[in-house]
Structure 1
Amino acid sequence: MIPKTHGQAPRRPNIGITPDFTTNRPDSPFPYYELKVPYSDAVLRAGGLPFVLPYADELACVDAYLDRISGLLVTGGAFDIPPEAYGETAREGMGPVKVTRTAFETALMRGALKRNMPVLGICGGMQLLNVVLGGTLFQDIRREVPGAHEHEQKHDRTHPMHPVDVRDGTLLADAVGKGQLMVNSTHHQAAQRMGEQVVVSAVSPDGVVEAIESTQYGFALGVQWHPELMLNTVPTHMGIYRAFIHKAREHRR
């Protein structure tokens, strides 16, 4: 047995990351899983070990994934959650949906929460967290939120677009500090009615919910922006991934 040495790096917890899925690549007749590199880079830089989770519709497979990871990262993408998932029908302004992806991520998230496994939802992942916990969404901010500002920036997403107010006493405040934080913005939907025991931990100046967290679980946090894209331009955002990885490390010692 090799003895531990002083200064040994802490164990890297396994982090499951959900990929996107595309069938419309002109260079191939086969569908592709896709994952933006900054997600895995952020997990690595924060001390985790990233694993991409291909979709599965068998609960036994979902459970097998959860047996092997210590934290779940649900990513964003250019699609919307089917409104039937929160008891509504599509209204004007709804974008495309990816039913298979949403079904898989929902099963994973429910299973992770049941195990009290740390969950981090990014952009669409935050919206799914609210829906899984019983909340609803604005299907299109511009049509449904009076006085809302633009939330889909056109400039480089490694730079922020607008501030949010991080509320004191929240997991998010512990990770990045309370008060103003500059964030990027790439969404046209947002949380409307909060789910069960869900608290709002950040809002934008126009009142749009920008971060949520659950008080039922040890770490279930969702942010509407993409912190992994701003680790070099606004380094404070690394705190979100560090907090997530720290909790994942504690989850399975």
Structure 2
Amino acid sequence: MAAADLSVILPRVIIVSRRSVRKNKFVDFVGEYHLDLIVSYGAVPVIVPRVTGVHMLLDSFEPIHGVLLCEGEDIDPSLYEADTSNLTSEELEEIRRLHASDTAIDKEKDAIELGLAKLCMERNIPYLGICRGSQILNVACGGTLYQDIGKELTKNVPEKQRMEHIDYDNYDGHRHPVRIVENTPLHQWFNDSLEDGGMEVWVNSYHHQGVKRLAQRFVPMAFAPDGLIEGFYDPDAYNPEEGKFIMGLQFHPERMRKPDSDEFDYPGCPFAYKEFAKAVIAYQKKLNSLTSVPKPVKLDGEMEKKRKMILRSFSLARNIYEGGHEINSSKESELKPGAEFLESNTAMRLQQEIRLKQMGATVRNASSFLEKLQLNEEKEKLARNIMGKMSVEQLSDLMSFYHMMGQICSEVLERKLQGIVNELAS
């Protein structure tokens, strides 16, 4: 199959780029591990650039069969119920100094990604959030975040439970343990790697924020020793075979690889991407089945001949009607197939009659008919708004007035009709 055909057939996964500075110019990038995994499992990554105004153009990236959101800066605290009351001004300043590359808010990226996350929730489009992407998902659904895990969470737990979630000097190599929750997708993916009935694996992470209050629709899948949620999903929207997948992972399974190798730490590491892609493919098939146009029925020779005769009959009848001509006896035989067709199809279902009225009875008048319908609806809406502000007395007077006008109208109309009858009789 040609590459051009594949680009049409394969499902599209939307990924938003991260903005950085290179040679005094802004550049957009996405981690290649994410792209490699999406492609390897049969989908096409479509990169949405972090460019001002793109959040207003998301419709232009349709069709969207899946959304993968990953790296980026801290989410604007004003977009959720951020509570900094337990942090001093000195601590906030220290957070900004220690995590300068993350605390620079990117409002445009926030707008793009929150827009995509909410779209996925509305349409049940498969969504996979990694690191910041999991935080976006939680915020989009009403959850909140810690402003800084170290300042707000780690220091408040017993020393043996304290841990580092970020190591700027050892990005790929840093690991910390997480406890996997039983009977969750993570448990299924990493089950073969769990030793002696334990539920712990070591993961790569690179973040100073995380889920504080998990949105109500989600269920945790993994916890760090300090209690931070490291993974969650929507159990009611998880069935990859049926195109359902809504999940957030705070850690980086795509980076959990052995030193100087592409071999994963655990066989289950790429499963998030594998199952996500499976859901994306299923969602595309479901979407195509809803929007596909039925193929025209192929008629055999005899039926095709009859179809042409009926069309010819209707065309002839229209010409006679529009031209005001009398029916020529030589044309009667050509009109017969159309007449027989109408006689055998006179009984219409109620739905067909309603549809015919909606169309304005004829295709020629459909446009003006629908315009009138819309105008009438607008007038009715305006009238209801005005009447809703009127008092009972005013409404009563209005009703009496229109009742009187209706009686007068009926009497005048009756006289006019009687006059027409008398003229025709004389």
TM-score band (shorter)? 0.7 to 0.9
47 and 160 in structure 1: CA distance in 2 versus 1, 3 angstrom threshold: farther
The alignment status of 1:64 with 2:60, answered yes or no, reads yes
Instruction: Work out the CA distance in 2 between the residues paired with 1:58 and 1:73.
Output: 17
Instruction: Work out the CA distance in 1 between the residues paired with 2:11 and 2:189.
Output: 18
207 and 119 in structure 1: CA distance in 2 versus 1, 3 angstrom threshold: same
Query: How many angstroms does 1:241 deviate by?
Result: 0.6
The alignment status of 1:13 with 2:11, answered yes or no, reads yes
- State the match for 2:329 in structure 1: none
Could you state the TM-score of these two structures normalised by the residue count of structure 2? 0.52
Instruction: Work out the CA distance in 2 between the residues paired with 1:71 and 1:52.
Output: 12
- State the match for 1:106 in structure 2: 114
213 and 230 in structure 1: CA distance in 2 versus 1, 3 angstrom threshold: same
Confirm or deny: 8 A CA contact 1:82 1:97 kept in the other structure: yes
User: Relative contact order (C-alpha < 8 Å, sep 6+): which is higher?
Assistant: 1
Q: Which amino acid counterpart does residue 142 of structure 1 have in structure 2?
A: G
Instruction: Work out the CA distance in 2 between the residues paired with 1:180 and 1:249.
Output: 31
Equivalent residue runs for 1:19-34 within 5 Å: 19-22=17-20, 24-25=21-22, 27-28=23-24, 30-34=25-29
Q: Which amino acid counterpart does residue 37 of structure 1 have in structure 2?
A: E
Instruction: Work out the CA distance in 2 between the residues paired with 1:107 and 1:101.
Output: 10
Query: How many angstroms does 1:216 deviate by?
Result: 4.8
Q: Secondary structure at the match of 2:129?
A: strand
- State the match for 2:254 in structure 1: 228
240 and 155 in structure 1: CA distance in 2 versus 1, 3 angstrom threshold: farther
- State the match for 1:135 in structure 2: 143
- State the match for 2:47 in structure 1: 52
Q: Secondary structure at the match of 1:252?
A: helix
The alignment status of 1:83 with 2:77, answered yes or no, reads yes
Q: Which amino acid counterpart does residue 43 of structure 1 have in structure 2?
A: I
Which one of 158, 167, 170 corresponds to residue 181 of structure 2?
A: 167
Query: How many angstroms does 1:35 deviate by?
Result: 1.3
- State the match for 1:150 in structure 2: 164
Q: Secondary structure at the match of 2:14?
A: strand
Query: How many angstroms does 1:129 deviate by?
Result: 0.7
Instruction: Work out the CA distance in 2 between the residues paired with 1:166 and 1:248.
Output: 25
Confirm or deny: 8 A CA contact 1:171 1:221 kept in the other structure: no
Q: Superposition RMSD on alpha carbons, in Å?
A: 2.2
Report which stretch shifted further, 154-163 or 226-235.
154-163
Q: Which amino acid counterpart does residue 139 of structure 2 have in structure 1?
A: V
**Which runs of 4 or more aligned residues in structure 1 lie more than 3 Å from their structure 2 counterparts after TM superposition?**
55-60, 154-160, 174-178
Q: Which has the larger radius of gyration?
A: 2
- Whose strand fraction is larger, Structure 1's or Structure 2's? 1
Q: Secondary structure at the match of 1:134?
A: coil
Could you state the TM-score of these two structures normalised by the residue count of structure 1? 0.85
Instruction: Work out the CA distance in 2 between the residues paired with 1:114 and 1:58.
Output: 20
Query: How many angstroms does 1:229 deviate by?
Result: 1.5
Report which stretch shifted further, 37-46 or 185-194.
37-46
Structure 1, unmatched stretches of 5+, are 3-10
Which one of 253, 262, 271 corresponds to residue 239 of structure 1?
A: 271
Instruction: Work out the CA distance in 2 between the residues paired with 1:224 and 1:240.
Output: 12
Equivalent residue runs for 1:114-129 within 5 Å: 114-129=122-137
Confirm or deny: 8 A CA contact 1:81 1:98 kept in the other structure: yes
Instruction: Work out the CA distance in 1 between the residues paired with 2:60 and 2:32.
Output: 25
- Whose helix fraction is larger, Structure 1's or Structure 2's? 2
58 and 188 in structure 1: CA distance in 2 versus 1, 3 angstrom threshold: closer
Q: Which amino acid counterpart does residue 65 of structure 2 have in structure 1?
A: S
175 and 69 in structure 1: CA distance in 2 versus 1, 3 angstrom threshold: farther
Deviations 1:36-88 (A, max 9, x none): 211101212233221111246466621332x22311000112x2111111123
Confirm or deny: 8 A CA contact 2:129 2:249 kept in the other structure: yes
Confirm or deny: 8 A CA contact 1:48 1:245 kept in the other structure: yes
Confirm or deny: 8 A CA contact 1:176 1:236 kept in the other structure: yes
Confirm or deny: 8 A CA contact 2:19 2:26 kept in the other structure: yes
- State the match for 2:223 in structure 1: 203
107 and 49 in structure 1: CA distance in 2 versus 1, 3 angstrom threshold: same
Deviations 1:207-240 (A, max 9, x none): 1110111245331111111111225232421111
How many residue pairs are counted as aligned between the two chains? Answer: 239
Q: Which amino acid counterpart does residue 277 of structure 2 have in structure 1?
A: I
Identity percentage of aligned residues: 29
